Amino acid sequence: MSVQAVFLKTIQTIGIPVVRQGTYNQTEEFPAVFFTFWHNGSYSQSKYNNTRAQFVHEYDLNVYAKKSIEAFTKLELAIVKLKEVGFLIDGCGYDVPSDHAEYIGRGVVVRFLENGGEINDK
């Protein structure tokens, strides 16, 4: 299973919508709480003998909610679940802007070292 597939599968276990950042149309009605993600890219972390030794996959994971407590608790749950399957996350999140005044946004940067650990896709 690919790193992105495990990333999405893990977040989907939380039971709220997960969409690529920018997917919702501004005129659509948004769910009360939802995740967005963006793949920032993948790059070589280190090389040995002119060969890639470690590959980093990096994602932004954001949650938007009408109730601030939900934004915090859903992001905290995502952090725990992603760490359980081998993703790396520093800290407990930061505020992200929302285009809709009634929503609060919280986010984290999520990384996976492809050769630095096993994907545990239970």
The answer as to whether 73 is a domain residue is no
The answer as to whether 86 is a domain residue is yes
The answer as to whether 106 is a domain residue is yes
The answer as to whether 31 is a domain residue is no
The answer as to whether 42 is a domain residue is yes
- pLDDT for the residue 113: 87
Q: Which residues, at least 6 apart from 34, have a Cβ–Cβ distance to it below 8 Å?
A: 16, 17, 18, 19, 63, 64, 65
Q: Kind and range of the H or E element at 62?
A: strand 51-65
Q: How many domains does the chain have?
A: 1
The answer as to whether 46 is a domain residue is yes
Sign for the pseudo-dihedral over CA of 67, 28, 19, 60? negative
Residues in the chain, pLDDT under 70: 45-53, 116-122
40-47 contact pairs (CB < 8 A, 24+): 40/109, 45/113, 45/116
Could you report the per-residue pLDDT of 97-120, keeping only the tens digit for each? 998 899 999 999 999 988 744 445
pTM, full prediction = 0.86
Q: What is the rounded distance in angstroms from the CA atom of residue 112 to the CA atom of residue 118?
A: 10
16 near 33, Cβ under 8 Å? Answer: yes
**Residues spanned by the domain of 13:** 3-26+38-66+78-113
- pLDDT for the residue 122: 46
The answer as to whether 121 is a domain residue is no
- pLDDT for the residue 117: 45
Q: What is the rounded distance in angstroms from the CA atom of residue 40 to the CA atom of residue 58?
A: 5
- pLDDT for the residue 116: 44
Both tokens assigned to 59: 């994602």
- pLDDT for the residue 103: 95
The answer as to whether 32 is a domain residue is no
